[in-house]
Amino acid sequence: MITADARRNAEFYADVLGLRLVKKTVNFDAPDAYHLYFGDEIGSPGSLLTWFEFPGATRGRPGPGMIHRIELAVDGEDALRFWESRLTERGYSPRREGDELRFEDYDGLTFALRVDLARDDPPLRAWHPEIPAEHAIAGIAGARAYVPAVHLDEESRLLTETLGFGFEGGGRYRLGGAERQFRWSYDAAGEIVGRQGAGTVHHIAWACPDDDQVGWREHILQQGINVTDVIDRDYFRSIYFREPRHVLFEIATLGPGFAVDESPDHLGEELRLPVQHEHLRAGLEQILAPVKNPRAVGEAARAVGEAAQDPRAAREATH
């Protein structure tokens, strides 16, 4: 996704929504822009929401070929009531729409919390002191994109015959993997004209076993679809292509993962740069506005508070 403000991004997703900021790095292709990753405790595929920051970017608008809503799984009606209360208290305006709770972030990006999407999937939760574990977001379970109405009921052969999606009719698909499932849907765009900007989705990534990626690339090429070469992203390898309705797809490997350059206990606390951009660190640290990881800040405050209750610990904490 794209955001206009990395600080608000970290505050909303790592504090209000209670996800873990698992990586603070930069855009490979534009290193003066942040790339922030949020997910469960270890940054598992299926939990990750990521943003490029372009400071001051004007608000965008999803149109044909763009994702307009992301669906997150939660466990039950009690969780929906919890989130309705929490979001309202934090100044947002959630609204019930049937069996889901919809809300927008500070950039206008639309989400839906649902209880019916992934009941059989293992939950991918992060820890937050204010969010009961049973109410925490349990992973990404679906996404909806706009298409011209004429294409809504057409089955996409690339999705079903090449990529293995199941077609359910009416623009609805379901992708089932060995561990997780995902609902992918299209909605008629009407007269909407899209514009990339803050609050819009740039692309969606699907995970695959590391050794399968080259085979997937060849399989897609055989269908006459342009696809990039394999690109090393340090934490995974990626290929990119546009599916027939023009949504940008990525297929990314599972490995090596986010702990390759920092301890699992301290994910997302320090700025990590791609190997190819490490020589730019001094300049980038001057350009990029400091973004604090809410978890690291909270743990530091808690440590100081505990030390204040113990004079000996207090002396140790200040040395």
pLDDT score, position 299? 65
- Of 170, 173, 169, 192, which Cα lies nearest the Cα of 181? 173
pTM of the model: 0.93
pLDDT score, position 308? 44
pLDDT score, position 264? 95
Residue 174 banded pLDDT, cuts 50, 70, 90: very high
Compute and round to an integer the Cα radius of gyration of the chain: 20
- Of 80, 244, 64, which Cα lies nearest the Cα of 148? 64
Q: What CATH number should be reported for the domain holding residue 55? A: 3.10.180.10
pLDDT at 51 over 60: yes
Weakest-pLDDT range from 126-135, 196-205, 258-267, 301-310: 301-310
pLDDT at 306 over 60: no
Name the domain count of the chain: 1
- Of 62, 61, 7, 70, which Cα lies nearest the Cα of 34? 7
> Residues 3, 52: contact at Cβ < 8 Å?
yes
Domain that residue 196 falls in = 2-317
pLDDT score, position 304? 35
pLDDT at 165 over 60: yes
If you search the block for the tokens 């469960």, which residue do you land on? 40
CA distances from 224 to 158, 206, 228, 241, 242 (A): 10, 20, 13, 11, 11
pLDDT score, position 305? 43
Dihedral sign from CA coordinates of 46, 35, 208, 188: positive
DSSP character at residue 57:
P
**How many angstroms separate the CA atoms of 41 and 134, rounded?**
15
> Residues 183, 141: contact at Cβ < 8 Å?
yes
How far is CA 17 from its chain centroid?
Answer: 12
Pairing of strands 95-97, 140-147: unpaired
pLDDT at 319 over 90: no
Query: Is the peptide bond between 256 and the residue preceding it cis, with omega within 30 degrees of 0?
Result: yes
**How many angstroms separate the CA atoms of 37 and 259, rounded?**
13
The burial class, CB within 10 Å (0-12 / 13-18 / 19+), for 7 is middle
